[in-house]
Structure 1
Amino acid sequence: MAWYQKSPSGKYRGLYRGPDGKTRSAGTYPYWEQALAKAIDAEEAANKPGWRDPKAGGRAWGDWLDEWWPKRNVAPGTLRRDMSQVNNHIRKKWEKVPLANITRYEVKAWAAELGASGLSESSVYRIVSIFAASLSAAVDAEILSTNPAYRLKLPNGEKDIVRYFTRAQVDRFVDNTEAERDKALISLLAGTGLRWGEAVGLMPHRYNPVRRIIRVAEVWDTRTKQMRPYPKSRAIRDVPVPAWVAERLDPFAENARDRIFPVQLSLWRKTVWAPLDTGGRVHDLRHSYASWLLQSGMAISKVSLLLGHSSIAVTERYAHHGDLDFGDVLKALE
């Protein structure tokens, strides 16, 4: 119930209780009738659905960051990388700015400033995405009603040239590789489309040599040098293994007690991949796998499942090349 209170100055302050039980002021007025009327109006507004503490948005972004950051559900390596972006680019702009004072116009202007400073498009995209995520969390916490950084149209920097290898080229890469384990790894990457972390995180019990199927259930985090319990899209999936891959994979899987391929990307790329002079990246083996399947006429929805993409929209980058029955998958890869 609203009420008023006379102050030492002789004026009247309207008071009411918010949905959170706290006593709040509706302002100070010369007459008690005005103070009470304003308090009644404020109380009615506070009891309507969607009410938010008018003072909550006055929190500085930096203060909200300290509360939100430990609750982020991301991998440790991602958390460390993102904190570097926060410390280097986000704090100095938004540390002391009240959440309610952040506008869409200012966020867009800040993104333009980041780009003008010499940062790449992908870096700007990542920095702004982290900031936008913090504001989305503030909306979820009912501190803000809207996210001023929601769906800003920024270039994501994905302009790198994707190269596709033919089967003959991959065979040549394998033939020109000295160590048998490295031959097996190249074959695995090209013949199953696994990501690097999925391939070098492959445990022997996840590979069924009889059925020739790999269950992708963990990944090796190259930053933390630890296993993570699920792949990038957080969906466990099964992937068939072509005979030409199984022929090289089986001997190492049979004798492995831990990871079948205990190698580090930076060293392997320098000592094994670079000397092959492929003209492409290790990840292009995964692109090639997708292109081979699509060129064979396989539905893009099936290719998306095999690649472990979170959405078919991600797989559509391969669309110009053209439930899960593994028969036609293996036929396309043999």
Structure 2
Amino acid sequence: MANSKGNRRRFGSVRQLRSGRWQIRYPDPGTGLLRPGESTYPTKTDAEVALSLIEADLTRGQWADPDAGKVNFGEFADAWLRDRKLADSSRERNESVIRLHIKPTFGAGTVADITTSKVRAWRTRLLAGGLGEPTVVKAYQLLRAILNTAVEDELIRRNPCRIKRADQYDVPERPVLTVEQVYAVADAVRPRYRLLILLAAFTTLRFGELAALRRRDIDTDRCRVHVLRAQSEARGRLKDKAPKSAAGVRPVAFPAELLPDVLRHLEHFAGKGQDGHVFQGPQGGLLRRSNFRDDWTTARDKAGVPDGVHFHDLRHTGNTLASSAGASTRELMARMGHSTARAALIYQHMTSDRDQHIAGALGEMIRKSREESDPGPSGT
């Protein structure tokens, strides 16, 4: 039982409990009724300081109801994901990360239970458990986004995800194939996939964009591919969708040297009619990553290309080759289907061959300048 002796104040009250500790009470902004503080304090001074801080927060409009954050985090995360407008594939990936890597630690507790120290310990455990750094970064970014909404909803005052650089990781430099290596893989793969390899490298289209191509999207007169859609897979089901941005709808020219391969492929392997898929699976159905993966691995190994090279690296290869051929940032953006220059600038680095060419050109300028300024033997 509390000591009946209290301390009347202008804001709230402080009283000593039988245990000897001190308790604060203050008017709830919603009801006006006195509510007890979340904890008790060892001294009267400590209690009065805590009460003053609450009063200051209320005056500045920064007070947060301590009970607001006592909602189950797992349920809050489910609602957060349900309310987001996402593509099916993105929703499936996010749901998987939340279910496998976030909920096992935080799902049973409340939103208010999550602290920065708990987030740090959770992240350390994921990394120590062998989970790849990109997945850990994705999990951290998702947790932070969910808790940002909790801050906006005034369930908590601050987001506890405040770990420096936890939302970043160093992306290793992807391998770049030579033209000879690209053709070596194309020669080694089954004939129905030869053009898939060549277009991936020399138009830099993504796998989903290639898988969604129809006959009518191939302009053999102008050696051009029209990208109008991309294939996506969610929960095992394939469907076509519009590109992520308007820049994704684009024509991409392919080298005329590929035209014989294009015509041969359209004649023997493409679906029937103008709406037939250019690339099909081994049984004539839709092309899936899963039913092409073994073909890629086998052809890559047969061609002597290193194990770490993925199909998507053909896009990286094509962008690098285009940059080396003199493509400007804007031209690279157009071919890649990007609306910002950030990705295109990655390929604007100078290769050693290009650097030697520049040095050679500078040397030629030096030689011409010296020849013009040197009067020769007659001037000595």
Q: TM-score range by the shorter chain?
A: 0.7 to 0.9
CA distance in 1, matches of 2:36, 2:179: 80
1:225 and 2:237 matched:
yes
- State how far apart, in whole Å, the 2-side matches of 1:269 and 1:176 are: 14
Which runs of structure 2 are paired with 1:1-334 in the superposition (5 Å)?
18=30, 23-27=31-35, 53-149=65-161, 152-154=164-166, 156=169, 158-159=171-172, 162-179=174-191, 181-223=192-234, 224-231=236-243, 235-242=247-254, 243-249=256-262, 251=266, 252=270, 255-262=273-280, 263-276=287-300, 277-278=302-303, 279=305, 280-309=309-338, 311-322=340-351
Query: What TM-score, normalized to structure 1?
Result: 0.73
How many residues in Structure 1 have an aligned counterpart in Structure 2? Answer: 298
Aligned AA (1:266) = S
Note the aligned Cα RMSD (angstroms).
3.7
Contact (CA 8 Å) 1:89, 1:127: kept in 2 or not?
A: yes
Alpha-carbon spacing, 1:118–1:173, altered in 2? closer, same or farther (3 Å): closer
Question: What is the DSSP-based 3-state SS (H/G/I as helix, E as strand, rest coil) of the residue aligned with 1:220?
Answer: strand
CA distance 1:295–1:90, change in 2 (3 Å): same
Whole-angstrom CA distance in 2 between matches of 1:150 and 1:244: 53
Larger radius of gyration: 2
Q: Is the 8 A contact 1:122 1:157 kept in 2?
A: no
Check 1:177–1:90 CA distance in 2 against 1; reply closer, same or farther (3 A cut).
closer
1:40-66, CA deviations, whole angstroms, 9 ceiling, x for partnerless residues?
x97x97696677555322323123113
Is there any run of 5+ residues in structure 2 with no aligned partner, and where? 1-11, 13-24, 38-50, 281-286, 352-380
Q: What are the Cα deviations for residues 62-102 of structure 1, in whole angstroms up to 9, with x where unaligned?
A: 23113212122333233333333323321121123332342
Percent of matched pairs sharing the same residue: 24
Contact 2:225 2:251 in 1 (8 A): yes
Structure-1 separation of matches of 2:78 and 2:103:
11
Contact 1:198/1:220 (8 A) holds in 2 = yes
- Unaligned residue ranges in structure 1 (runs of 5+): 5-12, 30-37, 323-334
1:207 & 1:55 partners in 2: Cα distance? 61
Opposite residue 105 of structure 1, the aligned amino acid is S
Deviates more, 1:68-77 or 1:307-316: 307-316
Taking structure 1 as reference, are residues 310 and 108 closer, same or farther at Cα in structure 2, changes over 3 Å only? farther
| TM-score for both structures, normalised by structure 2 | 0.65
CA offset at residue 152 of structure 1? Answer: 4.2
CA distance in 1, matches of 2:316, 2:201: 9
